[in-house]
Amino acid sequence: MTDPRIIKMAKVIVEYSLTLREKELFRIEGSYLAIPLMKEVYRAALAVGAHPYTKVAIPELTEIFYRYASDEQILFLSDIEKREAELLQARLFIYSDSNIKSLANIDSKKIARWRESQRQILSLLLTRKAQGELKSCLTLFPTQSFAQEAEMSLSEYEEFVFSACFLNSPDPIAEWQKLSAEQARLVSFLNKIHQIKVIGPSTDLTFSVAGRRWINSDGRANFPSGEIFTCPVEDSVFGFIHFSYPAIYLGREVQGITLQFQDGKVIRATAEKGQDLLDALLNLDAGARTLGEFAFGNNKNIQRFTKMILFDEKIGGTIHCALGAAYPETGGKNQSSFHWDMICDMHQGQVYADGKLIYENGKFLI
């Protein structure tokens, strides 16, 4: 029998996250490990009258591709995929890896070259999404690989994921609507604020958000979600911040990061472990030393760090800052080829907005 939480998850994704409609061409993407969820999403999509189809990946083929593909094969761009990117009206991508380290020994230049070759398709999808022609959602189906990374058993990890999605509630969609309304209230308050100050252990950071928009991430583009974010005015960031959780970049960890900012740029960066990687990433390009995002994690059902950013950045009672590319919808202007989220626990911290205490010990006071 299908886990009833999977049936609920499919319903929330189709009816709430994607608000799928009749006749919409809808692609469901994931690995074969996500088949139980793909089937239920397919069923729910048929029920609303959409035209669903699936794209099932065999993750092991990616390794074979990188090992045996010539330059020409790596640069190949399929006409069919381009056309799909033009025609799709809704898209669900399900993280469902069989081994998140399977590409650890592949030449990263090859991977970068392939990504570059597929950029035309990615930017078409992003443009159509920004213009409201394409609805898309990113989610995760619990697998042994993710459970192992989170240091849990699969059944513990399933409970973690489904609870983060509010699927233990009798009416998960109502829960998400409630969270959305709460966050909308916070966003309308924060949109009037000019200056933010973050205080905490080894942390005293101030920046301006004047003219920037706060975004309500309420379980649509990401599922689960529970986060509000903006982008600081690029040259306004001053002070220092210590990140209590390890920062993970492409599967590699940097622990105990402290960053010091002046005029919006990182002028000093230290790590307890992984200093080399931190230094290398800060020198990646001109935008790599500038913040592209500041956010509050606001999902109270996520309380542990699992080394998967989809969940970690939403831990209730945390904030996170990202170095690198800004999300244009916030009004942020920083450009970079990377976007690296770093998370800080705020259970011993405070946040001030235009001098007023608005957040303390992981909770909003407004």
Partner 1 sequence: MIDPRIEKMAKVLTRYSLELKKGDLFRIDGSYLTEPLIKAVFKEALLLGANPYTMVTIEGLQEIFYKNASEEQLKFVSPIDWLTCEKLDAQLTLWGDWNTKYLTNVDAKRVAMYFGARKDLFNRRLERISRHELRWCGTLFPTQANAQDAEMSLSEFEDFVFTAGFLDRPDPIAEWQNLSRQQATLIEELSKKRQFRIKASDTDLTFEVQGRKWINCDGHLNFPDGEIFTSPIEESVEGSIRYTYPAVYQGKEVEDVRLQFEAGRVIKASAAKGEDFLKAMLDTDAGARYVGEFSFGNNYGIQRFIKHTLFDEKIGGTIHIALGASLPEAGGKNKSAIHWDMVCDLRKGSEVYADGELIYRDGKFLI
What's the distance, CA 54 to chain centroid? Answer: 23
Binding of partner 1 at residue 115 (CB under 8 A)?
no
- Rounded CA-CA distance 151/260 in Å is 32
Binding of partner 1 at residue 70 (CB under 8 A)?
yes
Among 4, 19, 21, 58, binds partner 1 (CB under 8 A): 58
Q: Smallest gap, in angstroms, from Cβ of residue 55 to partner 1?
A: 8
Among 34, 110, 93, 98, smallest CA distance to 60 is for 98
- Of 30-38, 90-98, 99-107, 331-339, the segment contacting partner 1 by CB under 8 A is 30-38
- Quick check: bond before 4 cis, omega within 30? no
- Rounded CA-CA distance 277/271 in Å is 10
- Rounded CA-CA distance 224/59 in Å is 23
- Of 47-55, 97-105, 256-264, 346-354, the segment contacting partner 1 by CB under 8 A is 47-55
Written as six digits, the tokens of 167 are 């699927």
Cα distances (Å, whole numbers) of residue 109 to 59, 63, 157, 263, 355: 19, 14, 33, 33, 47
Among 295, 294, 253, smallest CA distance to 277 is for 253
- Rounded CA-CA distance 28/316 in Å is 29
Q: Smallest gap, in angstroms, from Cβ of residue 254 to partner 1?
A: 35
The answer to whether 245 touches 306, Cβ cutoff 8 Å, is: no
CB-wise, 70 or 131, nearer to partner 1? 70
The 3-state DSSP class for residue 306 equals coil
CB-wise, 83 or 252, nearer to partner 1? 83
CB-wise, 63 or 182, nearer to partner 1? 63
Residue corresponding to tokens 């230049």:
109
CB-wise, 79 or 276, nearer to partner 1? 79
CB-wise, 78 or 348, nearer to partner 1? 78
Q: Which amino acid is at 157?
A: Y
Among 29, 35, 260, 364, binds partner 1 (CB under 8 A): 35
- Of 67-75, 108-116, 246-254, 324-332, the segment contacting partner 1 by CB under 8 A is 67-75
- Of 37-45, 274-282, 302-310, 324-332, the segment contacting partner 1 by CB under 8 A is 37-45
The answer to whether 259 touches 290, Cβ cutoff 8 Å, is: no
- Of 69-77, 121-129, 195-203, 263-271, the segment contacting partner 1 by CB under 8 A is 69-77
Among 3, 29, 51, 206, binds partner 1 (CB under 8 A): 51
Chain residues in the site for partner 1 (CB under 8 A)? 23, 25, 32, 35, 38-39, 42-43, 46-47, 49, 51, 53-58, 60-61, 64-65, 68-70, 72-73, 76, 78-80, 83-84, 87
